Structures are given as structure tokens and as C-alpha cells.
């Protein structure tokens, strides 16, 4: 059986390496994915840096020169507001506008709470950070004036602040950098499904459509050896796709200026090895599932349609974790795809991997992969599969 397996493996691997479409499917996605991620991260970094210099249109600036000075002292450039500020913000001509009430001076002197109105569009994510910063500056001015008024009346300003709250960020630059790498784990997971998809389709439905599957099945080759050879070829291509994706990621991340934000998104060689160890069992499972599903297809296009639906599998946990973050635990580690997603997030954060949970996740995925492969071998013994009827 071992000799038969190696014959099938070498034959299918040679055919796959000669197939340009298989090579393109293995290379395009892992190269485009990291490049797209790097471009998005670079744009996000540039936007974060741009927010440090905020332009704030203000109407009625002459009524509150102290507030204008406070804003400009915090690198917020004050400019004149248009005549129709609400329309300008709603039509996205401006990000925000600060309106200072005409009675500001009277109410300010009378300590009646002078009115300020900050117009912005909450449906635009790009405006939320600048708005928060402007509010912080205004609250700072509010606290300073309030403290001076209490002192003027002989009252200790500390009475109005019974709590002294100090915020201490204990996260590491690598952990903060993981916020920029939330989508990277999904690309790595998808690479495990993309890399072997074309080959899995070609060695099953493709051979049946070309009429080359029937002569192969009537040879003395054991069905198990035949399926194992086809399966491990798709595993090699899927794992190679993951490796190319990680190599491209390491290269492109060097050009993202995240150090300007005090974060790190670099992956070390140890991180890459850990990711490959995490992804190997998933590559075994994903390719086994692809072979099993493609076996039911009668044509190449039909198999492609079926396998395209499997691409949603790695997307589901990525979306779920973006909505409800999960901590690695014994209950989610053995769940295929989800467990690998949580483990990858741990690697991205630079955390030490809990190897017992890694082994548990690997054991479940490998066990399912072997069971599915055995089921595929059983399908190859059926006349309906051989003749495609």
C-alpha cells in the first residue's frame, strides 16, 4: 500500500506543479491578501497620524477666546465655520463644527452653563476619534474653570473630585499591534482553504469529466492508497499557500509605519513556526473536506461551486470573534477553525501558547480529517462515483 501511495502522490504532485491554474490559485491569494492588509494598515496609520492635527470650524469664536486658545494649544486648528454648518456636516463637506452660543459671554460670567454645540456625523467612523479628542479638551477647560471658581469662593476644588482615577496601560506594543492584525488571522485561515481547492477539484471531478478517473480506478491500486495520495498532495499545496502567505505578510509588514503609533506588528521566525504548527492540522481537515465534497460533483464547475461555499467556513469565526472576543479555553480550542482562530490571535498578541490546548485542537482536526478521508475512500468504491452516474 505504501508503494502505491507514493506512486499516486508523485503523479498527482507532478501534475499539480505543471498546472498553471493550480499554481496561480496557490500564489495569487497569499500574495494579494498580505499586500491588501499592508495597504489598509498603512492608510489606518496615516489617518491616525492625521488626526493629531485636527481642523475645527468654529462659529462664534469671538465669544470665547479662552476656549479657542485652549483648542489651539492642543494642536486643534480653529477655522471659520460655514453659514450652514448642519448641511455641511450632513453632506460630509466637514467632519465637525463647533457652535458657540451668542449668549455665551453672559451665561459664562453668570456661571449659568454657557452653551457649546458640537455637530458631527456619528455614522462616520473617521470622525469619532477627533470628536472624542475635542470633547476631552473642552472637558479639560471645563474642569480648570470650575476649579478656579471654587477657589475664588474659598472652596477646595478637590471636594468636587472624590475619586482620583489613574489609567495605566499594561499592554505591550505587540499586544497593541494585534489590534491592527485582526484580519490577518482570517487571511491565514482562508489560505488553508484556497491553496488546495483547485487541486482537490481537479483530482476528483476534473478527472471524472476528462474520463481519466475510471481507468485509474480499475487498476489494482487500493482505494485507500489512491485517496491518500490525492489528499496529501492537496495538503502540501494548502500548507505551501499558508507558508507563502506568512512570508508575504512578514515582508509587507516591514513597510507599515506602525512604530509611529507605538505598536508592533512584526512576526518573528518563532511566531511563523507556531502558526504553521497550528495550521497543519487545519490544512489536513480542510483538504479532506474539499476532496469529500468534490467527489459528489459530476463536473469541474459543479465542484468549484460546492467548494466555493466552503470558503465561508473560515469567515464565520472571524466575524464572530470580531463581535464577541473569546479567550482561549478548553471548550473552544477543539472546535475546528474556531480553535485555530483563537490560537492565531494568541500568536498575534505575542502570548505564550498553551501547548496542551494546541495538541487538543490538532488531535480533533486530524481525527476528523482521517475519518473524512476514510469516507472518501469508501465513496471511490461505489460505481456511481466511478462512472459519474
pLDDT score, position 374? 92
CATH of the domain at 77: 3.40.1710
DSSP assignment of 203-236 equals IIIIHHHHT-HHHHHTSS--HHHHHHHHHHHHHH
Flag whether pLDDT at 389 surpasses 60: no
| pLDDT surpassing 70 at residue 291 | yes
Domain of 158?
53-168
Residues 6+ apart with CB under 8 A from 204: 213, 230, 291, 294, 295, 297, 303
State whether 162 and 182 are in the same domain: no
Whole-number Å distance between alpha carbons of 1 and 7: 10
Same-domain check for residues 217 and 281: yes
Q: Give the pLDDT mean for 299-308.
A: 84
Q: Under a CB-based contact definition with an 8 Å cutoff, are residues 299 and 205 in contact?
A: yes
Give the number of domains in the chain. Answer: 2
- Grid coordinates standing for 235? 495538503
Digit-coded pLDDT (tens) for 261-277: 666 677 788 888 999 99
Residue 388 has pLDDT above 60, yes or no: no
Q: Please tell me whether the overall predicted TM-score, pTM, comes out greater than 0.85 for this model.
A: no
- Cα–Cα distances (Å) from 356 to 334, 348, 353, in that order, read 11, 19, 9
**30 and 57 co-located in one domain:** no
Whether residues 9 and 59 fall in one domain: no
Distance spanning both ends of the chain, measured CA to CA: 28
Q: To which residue does cell 512570508 refer?
A: 247
| Segment 58-112, tens digit of pLDDT | 999 998 999 999 999 888 889 999 989 999 999 989 989 999 998 888 888 888 8
Of the pLDDT bands very low, low, confident and very high (cuts 50, 70, 90), residue 42 is confident
Are 301 and 205 within one domain?
A: yes
Q: Provide the pLDDT for residue 262.
A: 64
> For the segment 341-386, what is each residue's pLDDT rounded down to a tens digit?
889 888 888 888 889 999 999 999 999 999 999 998 888 877 666 6
Cβ contacts of 276 within 8 Å, gap of 6 or more: 239, 242, 243, 246
State pLDDT tens for residues 149-178: 888 878 887 777 777 788 877 777 767 666
More confident residue, 136 or 180: 136
Say whether both 88 and 215 belong to one domain: no
Amino acid at each position: 500500500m505504501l508503494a502505491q501511495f507514493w506512486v499516486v502522490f508523485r503523479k498527482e504532485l507532478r501534475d499539480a506543479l505543471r498546472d498553471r491554474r493550480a499554481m496561480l490559485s496557490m500564489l495569487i491569494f497569499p500574495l494579494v491578501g498580505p499586500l491588501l492588509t499592508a495597504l489598509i494598515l498603512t492608510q489606518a496609520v496615516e489617518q491616525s497620524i492625521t488626526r493629531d492635527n485636527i481642523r475645527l470650524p468654529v462659529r462664534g469664536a469671538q465669544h470665547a477666546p479662552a476656549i479657542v486658545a485652549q483648542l489651539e494649544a492642543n494642536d486643534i486648528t480653529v477655522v471659520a465655520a460655514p453659514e450652514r454648518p448642519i448641511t455641511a456636516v450632513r453632506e460630509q463637506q466637514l467632519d465637525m463644527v463647533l457652535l458657540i452660543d451668542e449668549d455665551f459671554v453672559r451665561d459664562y460670567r453668570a456661571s449659568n452653563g454657557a452653551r457649546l454645540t458640537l455637530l458631527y456625523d456619528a455614522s462616520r467612523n473617521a470622525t469619532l476619534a477627533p470628536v472624542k479628542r475635542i470633547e476631552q479638551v473642552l472637558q479639560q477647560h471645563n474642569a480648570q474653570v470650575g476649579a478656579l471658581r471654587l477657589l475664588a469662593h474659598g472652596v477646595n476644588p478637590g471636594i468636587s473630585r472624590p475619586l482620583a482615577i489613574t489609567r495605566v496601560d499594561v499592554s505591550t506594543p505587540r499586544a497593541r499591534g494585534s489590534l491592527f492584525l485582526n484580519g490577518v488571522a482570517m487571511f491565514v485561515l482562508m489560505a488553508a482553504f484556497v491553496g488546495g481547492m483547485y487541486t482537490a477539484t481537479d483530482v476528483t471531478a476534473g478527472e471524472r469529466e476528462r474520463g481519466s478517473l475510471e481507468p485509474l480506478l480499475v487498476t489494482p491500486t487500493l482505494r485507500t492508497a489512491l485517496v491518500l495520495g490525492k489528499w496529501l498532495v492537496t495538503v502540501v499545496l494548502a500548507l505551501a499557500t499558508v507558508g507563502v502567505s506568512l512570508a508575504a505578510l512578514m515582508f509587507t509588514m516591514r513597510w507599515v509605519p506602525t512604530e509611529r503609533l507605538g505598536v508592533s506588528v512584526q512576526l518573528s521566525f518563532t511566531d511563523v513556526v507556531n502558526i504553521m504548527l497550528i495550521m497543519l492540522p487545519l490544512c489536513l481537515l480542510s483538504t479532506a473536506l474539499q476532496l469529500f465534497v468534490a467527489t459528489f460533483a459530476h463536473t469541474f464547475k459543479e465542484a468549484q461551486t460546492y467548494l466555493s461555499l466552503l470558503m465561508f467556513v473560515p469567515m464565520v469565526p472571524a466575524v464572530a470573534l470580531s463581535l464577541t472576543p473569546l479567550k482561549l479555553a478548553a471548550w473552544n480550542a477543539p472546535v475546528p477553525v474556531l480553535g485555530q482562530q483563537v490560537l492565531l490571535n494568541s500568536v498575534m498578541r505575542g502570548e505564550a501558547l498553551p501547548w496542551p490546548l494546541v495538541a487538543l485542537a490538532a488531535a480533533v482536526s486530524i481525527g476528523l480529517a482521517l475519518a473524512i478521508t476514510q469516507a472518501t475512500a469508501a465513496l471511490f468504491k461505489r460505481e456511481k462515483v466511478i462512472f459519474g452516474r
